[in-house]
Chain A
Amino acid sequence: MELLSGADMLIRSLQDEGIENIYGYPGGAALHIYDALFRQDKVKHILVRHEQAAVHMADGYARATGKPGTVLVTSGPGATNTITGIATAFMDSIPMVVLCGQVASSLIGEDAFQETDMIGVSRPVVKHNLSVRHPQDIPEIIRKAYYIASTGRPGPVVVDIPKDMTSPNERYEYVYPKKVKLRSYNPAIRGHAGQIKKAVDMMLAARRPVIYAGGGVILGKATEQLTELTRLLGYPLTNTLMGIGCYPCSDKQHLGWLGMHGTYEANMAMHHSDLILAVGARFDDRVTNATEKFCPGARIIHIDIDPASISKTVEADVPIVGPVDAVLKEMLSLVKSAKTEPDAEALASWWKQIDEWRAFHGMRYETSPEVIKPQEVVEMLSRLTKGEAFVASDVGQHQMFAAQYYKFDRPNRWINSGGLGTMGFGFPAAMGVKLTHPDDEVLCITGEGSIQMNIQELSTCKQYDIPVKIINLNNQALGMVKQWQDMNYESRHSQSYMESLPDFIKLVEAYGHVGMRIDRKEDLEPKLKEALAMKDKLVFIDIYVDRFEHVYPMQVARGSMKDMWLSKTERV
C-alpha cells in the first residue's frame, strides 16, 4: 500500500492518465502541487508567461492530437486568466482539464488573498467542474475530469483544489481508479437504428443532396467513414470552418467551406438542395445566415452526439443522436446493401449545376503588380509546405484568408478559434502543436492586432526552443473591424487603426528569435523559403499586405445562404 500526499496523488494521477505535458504558471495556492511536480520527471511542465496562453497551448495540443490538454494554475488571478481560454475550448468542444489552486478550505468565503470562486466563475463556460473536498478523493476526481472532458461531446473540465487538500503533511492510500461510472452521465454509443434506416432511404432518394460536415467529424475521429460514404454516394460535400480537413480539400466532390465567408458554390448548393445530411455540425449563425430563410427546399438529417445541438436553431426532419463514426459506419453498410441507388440522372444534372456555380465564381481575388495580397501569401505558404503544415490562426481577416486559401487534405491540421473567435489564440496554440510535433511544420498565421494579444509567449518559445513560424499579415489595421466599418458604417474607422505598431523585428530579436520583414512583392517567395528553411528557429515574418483588402465571398446580413457579396461591387 502506497501512502501519498494530496499533491503527490495529483501528479501520480496525471502520470497514470498518461499525461506528458502540462502548461501552467505557479502561485501560492498551487505550491504544494508544484513541489510534487519538481520531485518527478514523467510529467513535463511548460512555464508560460500568461495563464491564458497556457490554456490555448493545451487547446492547440488537443486539436492536433485529439487527446485532452492539461493546464495547471494557481487561485485568483491565475484561475481567472484562464477563463478566455476555457471559453474558447468550450465553444469548439475541445477536451481539456484545467487544474486550479484554491485558497485553503478554512479561508473560502472570507475574501482571502487570491481567492475567487472559480467554480462559480467558470460554470457557464465548462462542460463540468469539480471541487476537491477530501484529499483522498483526488485520484477519482482526476479520473472523472478526464473521462468527462474526453467522452460524449468533449469540453473543458475545471478542477478546483484548495491548498490544504495538497498538504505534504497528510498522506493517504493511493489507488488510481480503472473505470468511472456516473449514473447521471451516459453519452450515446450508437445511433437509433430505425432513424438511421429512415435517413439512408431519404439519402438514396434525394435529387439534389449535399453533405454538410462540421468539427464533430474531426472530434469524433470519423473522417475515414465520412470520406468513404461521400465517395460511395458521389454527393457534394461542404464543411464548416471547424470541419476543415474532415474531407480532402483537393477532392472534386469538395465544395469548400460554407457560411458567412464560405464559397459561392457551397452556399448555392446548400440553398438549392433538397436534402442536407448534417454530420457533427451545429447550424451556427455564421453558417445559416437568417434561419427563417435557410435552405427552403431541403429536408434535414442531423447526426450529432449532443441532443441539444439538434433542432436548436434549425429544425431537423430526421434527428440521429450518436457518435458520428458509429452512425456513419451503419449508414455505410446500409448504403452498400441497399437495393436502390442514387438517381444517376438527377445527380448528374445536380453536379452540372454545381460546376456552373464553381465556374461562375470559385475563389478569386485581384492581384496587383506591386502590393502583396494576403491571399497570395497564404496560397504560397500552402504550396511551399505542400498543404501539410499545421496551421494555427488568430482571429480576423487573416483567419478567413488562411481557411480559404490553404489547402488542407487532412484533419487536425487547421487550428482556429471558430466559436468564440478569440484573438490571441493562434500563437500559443501553434506552440502547443509544435511541442508535440517537433518534426512537422507549424505555422501561425496572424495579424498585427491578434499577435499582440499574446506576444509575451516569444519568451516561452525561447526557453523551450519552440521553432514555430509566425506569419504576420500586417495591414496596419484591425482588418475585419475595418471591413465591417467600410460595409456598414460608411467607412468611419472608429478605433480600428493602431497608430503605433512596434518594430516587430527588433521585438522578436530582443526575445532571441529571428525577424524578417517583407514589403516588396518580389521578396515574398524567396524570403518565405528562407524562413521555412530555418527549421530550428522561431521566425517572425512581418509581411506588409494590402491595407484595403476585404474578405469575400461574404453573406449579406439577414439574408439567405445564397445572398452574398462576391467583391466590393458584386452582389448576388
Chain B
Amino acid sequence: MRRIISVLLENEPGALSRVVGLFSQRNYNIETLTVAPTEDETLSRLTVTTTGSDKVIEQITKQLNKLIEVVKLVDLTEGSHIERELMLVKLKATGSQRAEIKRTVDIFRGQIVDVTSSVYTVQLAGNSEKLDGFIQAVGTSGVLEVVRTGVSGIARGEKVLSL
C-alpha cells in the first residue's frame, strides 16, 4: 500500500543522507522525496512516499524514528490529508495543437507559464493521479520534457506536525 510519511528533521548537514541511506540499506522503496526548510530554520520537513505491507511500514517509521536527527514523524495516510505535487511540462505546440492543449490545460486547472512559437510550458499542481491524468490526456507523443517535485502533504483539520 502507498503511504506518505512526513518527517521533521534537524536542519543539519548529513541528516538527509541518513534518511535516504536508511531506505536503501534496509531495502525499502522511495517513490518520491521532497525536502525543504520550514518556518523554523532549525527544522526541515521531508515528505517521502513509499509502498510496503503494514509490517514494512511499521519498521520504516520505527527505523526513521531511531535516527538521531529525526525529531518527529507522521504517516499522513493514516488519516485524512491533503497531498499536492507540482509538475512542469514542456509540450510540442504547433498549429491546431495549440488550442487543444490550451483547452486541456484549462480543464486540469493548470497554467501555461512559458510560450514559444512551437512549445508550451505548462504548470500543474494536484495529487499525483491528476498529474498522471494530464499526461495521459495530452498524449505522450507531444511531451518534450516532464519535471515533478514529488509529493508534499499535510493533515486535514486541526492536526499539526510541529514540536
Contact = CB atoms under 8 A, between A and B. Distances in A.
A184 interface: yes
Contacts of A311: 55, 58
Most chain B C-beta atoms within 10 Å of own C-beta, residue among A120, A127, A185, A306: A185
A307 B21 contact: no
A471 B10 CA distance: 49
B62 A308 contact: yes
Contact of A183 (B14, B63, B163): B163
A308 B66 contact: yes
A184 B17 contact: no
Most chain A C-beta atoms within 10 Å of own C-beta, residue among B21, B68, B70: B68
Contacts of B66: 306-308
A119 B14 CA distance: 8
Given A119-B14, A123-B17, A128 B59 contact: no
A182 interface: yes
A459 interface: no
B163 A123 contact: no
B65 interface: yes
A131 B25 contact: no
B14 A128 contact: no
Given A124-B25, A184-B10, A312-B59, A307 B68 contact: no
B21 A185 contact: no
Nearest to B69: A184
B139 interface: no
B87 interface: no
A124 B27 CA distance: 13
Contacts of A308: 59, 62-63, 65-66
Given A123-B21, A311-B58, A184 B70 contact: yes
Nearest to B26: A124
Interface in A98-134: 119-120, 123-124, 127-129, 131
Nearest to B66: A308
A131 B17 contact: no
B13 interface: yes
Interface string A121-156: 001100111010000000000000000100000000
A131 B163 contact: no
A516 B109 CA distance: 86
B135 interface: no
A183 B59 contact: no
Contact of B68 (A120, A124, A148, A312): A148
B102 interface: no
A185 B72 CA distance: 10
B105 interface: no
A307 B59 CA distance: 9
Given A182-B68, A184-B69, A308-B62, A131 B14 contact: yes
A291 to B, nearest CB: 11
Nearest to A123: B21
A306 B71 CA distance: 16
A184 B63 contact: no
Contacts of A184: 10, 68-72
Contacts of A185: 68
Given A128-B68, A148-B68, 16 more contacts: A119-B14, A123-B18, A124-B21, A131-B13, A131-B14, A182-B68, A183-B71, A183-B163, A184-B10, A184-B68, A184-B70, A184-B71, A185-B68, A306-B66, A308-B59, A312-B59
7 contacts: A124-B21, A124-B25, A127-B68, A184-B68, A184-B70, A308-B59, A308-B63
